[in-house]
Amino acid sequence: MSARTIEQHRTAVATLLAPLRDSRATETLPLSAAMITARPDDYRDRTLAEALTSPVFLPPFDNSQMDGYAVRAADLRTAGPTAPVTLTVAGPINAGDAGTPLAAGTAAPIMTGAPIPAGADAVVPIERSDPPRFYPAHTPGTVTFSAPVSPGTFVRARGSDLGSGDRLLPAGTLLRAAQLGVLAGTGLTELPVLRRIRVLLVATGHEIREAGTPLQPGQIYDANSVILGQALQEAGCTVFARPCRSDDAADLLAILADAPPVDLLITVGGVSAGAREVVRDALGPLGVGFEHVAMQPGGPQGFGSIQLPGAQRMPVVTFPGNPVSALISFEVFLRPVLRRLNGLPHPDRVLHRAALAEDLESPAGKHQLRRGIRSADGTIALVGGASSHLLHAYAAATVLVHLPVGVDRVSAGDPVDYWSIDD
């Protein structure tokens, strides 16, 4: 079996998952500050499932941009430094007031955001009136202006931000603070959003145990469910983690049968050449194919789709079981496509180039991904060796260094490609 290239496998996985773009149902979230702050995860990285049209004008009514006097511009037409115009002070208009019509020859104290009264068509800021301050409430008086004002001055016109019937936001919009805010401003109470991709994550192995249980000789704690559970969530997915602590295919199939409905199955481990490989044994007969990709770590890959009794056909991606192999497999094959499907920004990592701080050998026939750290001098220092069990070293890394097929040696100072993994 000749090894596939990274690109071939990445394309195969993306093609496998592409139907999820359309097959997911929309779901509805309540739009309220109380819900957003009570259940922040529901609103993290959500995207609009459909284009929305505004049901209202924003602002909903003409309102004042300043604290000042609402006037009829015609009343001040002749005002000038040598020809001041004095108007009678009408009742004040606060934000939230309904407002009463403004009679000719009067000026109404108006606060920022308060509705422009019928009859008025401009606002003169308080500092341009004489006296340049408001009278105490209910004090009758007059106010004098020494300059004319154009109609519309310091008036925020109804609909000047958004018209009723205008496109509010397009489908696919990522809902951050401003986007949620404008939706709230229109009075919308429900958000149609894309449902997150739901993933069943099955880390496998007779040897894995849950934290908190004592280890017997030969056993290890299950890091993969934690690693991929978190990584999938950061790519916008909802995750159901159901470890299979067995090498028996029947146990894995029982887990699949009992699991909640999901869009995608991801398995970890159980795919190498050993005598009992639970993923290979259980899913191979159902049609999942196993391949070797020319990369290190993360060579043993698999994908396909399976049909469980009473369930829809479901895509499957299988990763190797070493934690570093599994996380790099996720980085290379799943993170971009899942972020894209979930509507998240920056689905692809940005590739940078910098000098490597040390000599390095790499298998010429494989694309190698080594863990590294950006140094203060701009070079990339490796952390840990090539082996795929070095998870502690991975946890200290800030970059992944790429050594493509055909490269068997890099000397200190030579440029290498890398991407950052610490954001």
Cβ proximity to a copy of itself, 12 vs 344, nearer residue: 344
Contact window for a copy of itself (CB under 8 A) among 5-13, 96-104, 349-357, 373-381: 96-104
315 near a copy of itself, rule: CB under 8 A: no
Cβ proximity to a copy of itself, 377 vs 422, nearer residue: 422
Query: With 0-12 CB in 10 A as exposed, 13-18 as middle and 19+ as buried, what is 270?
Result: buried
Contact window for a copy of itself (CB under 8 A) among 77-85, 109-117, 248-256, 355-363: 109-117
Amino acid at 372: G
Contact window for a copy of itself (CB under 8 A) among 16-24, 214-222, 248-256, 288-296: 214-222
How many residues bind a copy of itself (CB under 8 A)? The answer is: 114
Q: Are 283 and 318 in contact (CB under 8 A)?
A: yes
Cβ proximity to a copy of itself, 223 vs 355, nearer residue: 223
User: What distance in Å separates the CA atoms of residue 8 and residue 86, rounded to the nearest whole number?
Assistant: 80
Cβ proximity to a copy of itself, 184 vs 286, nearer residue: 184
165 near a copy of itself, rule: CB under 8 A: no
Residue with tokens 């983690």: 241
Name which position in 104, 137, 350, 376 contacts a copy of itself (CB under 8 A): 137
Residues 357-416 that bind a copy of itself (CB under 8 A): 384, 387, 389-395, 397
Name which position in 81, 140, 217, 309 contacts a copy of itself (CB under 8 A): 217
225 near a copy of itself, rule: CB under 8 A: yes
Q: Which two tokens stand for residue 399?
A: 């970059």
Cβ proximity to a copy of itself, 12 vs 397, nearer residue: 397
Name which position in 17, 43, 149, 256 contacts a copy of itself (CB under 8 A): 43
Q: Is 136 helix (H, G, I), strand (E, B) or coil?
A: coil
Phi, psi of 349 (to 5 degrees): -70, 150
58 near a copy of itself, rule: CB under 8 A: yes
Report residue 189 CA to chain centroid gap: 21
User: What distance in Å separates the CA atoms of residue 152 and residue 157, rounded to the nearest whole number?
Assistant: 8
Contact window for a copy of itself (CB under 8 A) among 10-18, 172-180, 249-257, 309-317: 172-180
The string of DSSP letters for 370-394 reads: EEEEE-TTS-EEE-S-S-TT-HHHH
74 near a copy of itself, rule: CB under 8 A: no
29 near a copy of itself, rule: CB under 8 A: no
231 near a copy of itself, rule: CB under 8 A: yes
DSSP state for residue 332 in the 8-state scheme: I
Q: Which two tokens stand for residue 414?
A: 């030579």
205 near a copy of itself, rule: CB under 8 A: yes
Q: What's the min distance (Å) between Cβ of 298 and a copy of itself?
A: 14
Name which position in 28, 53, 142, 189 contacts a copy of itself (CB under 8 A): 189
229 near a copy of itself, rule: CB under 8 A: yes
Pairing verdict, β 399-403 and 415-420? antiparallel
Q: What's the min distance (Å) between Cβ of 98 and a copy of itself?
A: 4
302 near a copy of itself, rule: CB under 8 A: no
Residues 239-278 that bind a copy of itself (CB under 8 A): 239-241, 243, 247, 272-276
94 near a copy of itself, rule: CB under 8 A: yes
Query: With 0-12 CB in 10 A as exposed, 13-18 as middle and 19+ as buried, what is 321?
Result: buried
Cα torsion through 244, 245, 249, 252, rounded to 10: -20
Burial 380-418 (b: 16+ CB within 10 A, else e): bbbbbebebebbebbeebbbbbbbebebeebeeeeebeb
